[in-house]
Amino acid sequence: MQTILVIDDDESLRDTIGVMLEQEGFRAVLVADGRAGYEKSMLLKPDLMLVDLRLPGMSGVEICKQLRAAHVGTPIIVLSALGDEIDKVLLLEIGADDYLVKPFGTRELLARIRAVLRRASPEARKVVRFNEVEVDLERRVVSKRGEELKLTPAEYNLLTYFLQNPDRPLTRDMILNSVWGYEFFPNTRTVDAHVVKLRQKLEPEPNVPRHFLTVHGVGYRFLP
């Protein structure tokens, strides 16, 4: 998960951005003060920063300059109030990657964030592989020999749970609890039915499982 540090003294804007970022699957860290924000950025090493130009404690310009002077390459998007003089050249000089004039829509902000992140790390996709299977966690796409497979939500959730707990026996109760969120465990064969489906879709030979193994009397074990 990518972390975004937001430095802005407008509380309501900060919160709006925070909620939006969380919604979109980012981790948002919010700071109001310039100096505190700068220090946070050094500690936190976020993937991207949103920085207001006018800030108490330390201006956005100053933050950018200091970071760049310290050879910190974190992408920065500058936010500025409507009245502020915006000098593109200055922004370029201090090493900002983009800027937005308030007020702006969350949509637009999000688009810029994605654009900047994409530019910064073009192919930082999280992909897990085993045998001929590839799981793209970002896109929620599973493919086998390069061919895209269709997994249902339950299948996909179960698969990612296995991926997160490889080579470890997992009881049906653990699985039900983690994947289905059940607290109490009905007498159910649900897990089994879904393991069968995963095997059918992902195993080279579904009836001779090499990855989704049965642990008799216990549950299942995933071997990458």
Partner DNA sequence: CGAGTTTTTACAGGTTTTTTACAGCCAAGC
Partner DNA sequence: GCTTGGCTGTAAAAAACCTGTAAAAACTCG
Q: How far is CA 199 from CA 117, 119, 188, in A?
A: 36, 38, 19
Q: From CA 203, how far away is CA 224, in angstroms rounded?
A: 11
Q: Compute the distance between CA of residue 31 and CA of residue 8 in angstroms, rounded to an integer.
A: 6
Site for DNA contains 103 (CB under 7 A): no
The residue among 75 and 219 lying less far from DNA, judged by its C-beta, is 219
Which stretch in 31-39, 126-134, 171-179, 203-211 sits in contact with a second copy by CB under 8 A?
A: 171-179
Residue closest to 98 by CA, chosen among 142, 26, 49, 27: 49
Measured from the Cβ of residue 135, the count of other Cβ atoms closer than 10 Å reads 21
CA angle 19–65–38, rounded 5-degree value: 45
Site string for a second copy, 41-60 (x = CB under 8 A): --xxx---------------
Q: How far is the CB of 209 from DNA (least distance, A)?
A: 7
The distance of closest approach from Cβ of residue 33 to a second copy in the complex, given in angstroms and rounded to an integer, is: 19
Site for a second copy in 82-121 (CB under 8 A): 88-89, 105-107, 110-111, 114
Q: Which residues bind DNA (CB under 7 A)?
A: 150, 152-155, 180, 186, 188-190, 192-196, 199-200, 206-207, 209, 214-219
